Structure 1
Amino acid sequence: MNRPRRRIRFRATMFSLALLLGLLCAAAVLPLPVHAQDGNPAVRLFRDYALDMARREVLARAGAYDCSDLLGPDAVCMDQVRFLDQEWDMDFSFSSNGLRTVSLRAPFSRELYARAFAALDERFELVALQSDAPQLDLVALWRGAADSGEASRRMAEYEAEGMARSNLVYVFLERGGVHEALQQARDLRELLADTRPGTRSAGLALRKDGAGSDWIVLQFDAVRRDAASGMER
């Protein structure tokens, strides 16, 4: 099996407010979360990979292999996974409870970047932008801006600076878990405090590797009740 020479470690933060960007083009539908019949959420992070799924179950899938030497303890990888008409490398990270995050990585193109954004926008709310500059809290921005033009300008400036440095993350929360909270929240911290546990989060990132190549990284996680204190990235 050909193993990748380099992988990008990516941990997104989880936050939320909505819409934006002329990036939207043909929308691709992401999988819906599923819930166990006993009422406890069984959160499907991506396709049928569920939060807290046992590592041995992931390793049993066709094409999965241990890549802990590349990405750290317990990491599992899978190469050339088809999604959005593109082949991606996929990474799985684990906590003591089981599967924590699912990440996908592909070479950057503007067309794929737009399709990935449009796919997320189908079911998620855009809530924050991250770069090497301080995070842009979109909940607070849209609540406090004098008008939509001011908010759009600040978002566009932040986005352009991050894109120029190949270091930009769009942070999303699944719409069904935050819809009501968005009506009242004044900032991300308040929104997270009222977000339903088990709500999926997603990060869409532009990253540059050590060789200077640009990559798109998608990561799926889920909100935990300690989220208000901040998330790993």
Structure 2
Amino acid sequence: MNKIALIVGAGPGLGASLARTFQRAGYDVAVASRHPDALQGMCKETGARHFACDASDAASVQDLFTQVDAELGAPDLVVYNAGAYTRGPIAELDLDVVRSTLSVNGWGALVVAREAARRMIPRGSGTMLFTGASAGLKGFAESAPFAMGKFALRGLCQSLSRELAPKNVHVVHVVLDGMILQPERGHPYDNPDTTLHPEEIARTYLELSRQHNSAWTYEIELRPLVENF
């Protein structure tokens, strides 16, 4: 029986690479997005099941896990790849947009983690991987909402790691420090020499999911060789 991977926040970039990578590794894959119709091509390619989910809405997340349970089974691997971004001078920020950004980057991750933990703790195994950013390590000027959300995500992962490791549930915060290669977006996202390649990021996620519990990684930073740090 295949293991089950759930990717929350899937799209044509990293989400698609994760789906392909896990499918090739023998997982049955579920992908979730606010716009699941946009995932049809990826699902046709990988055989993944697609579900509608607003990660910032607790009821929507609960429904997602219930549907995945019914159609595939409880996930062995959950990736939280949802994210929202807004920036601007502090005096000019739209507070409704800020609230939405925080809800996706922080609150949504907590709700997904809760549903995953409810399934993994009784089983005594599982892996949760959370996509972070360099903004979770340092706050940049005019980027307060994004920094707040990603700092919250990092704090959540640190807390979860300490709570769940003794229960044999592996939690990893993956810091993506740099732009992801997306040729369709044009410059500077189309330069393969200065961007993170999504297939290589996905390969790292797979390797993290395979770590033995005697040598777990709890946080890892990925960046292209040209990125300053």
TMscore range, shorter length: under 0.3
Identify the structure with bigger relative contact order (alpha carbons < 8 Å, sequence gap 6+).
1
Q: TM-score, normalised by structure 1?
A: 0.26
Looking at secondary structure, tell me which structure has more strand per residue: 1
- Name the structure with the higher helix share: 2
Q: TM-score with structure 2 length normalisation?
A: 0.27
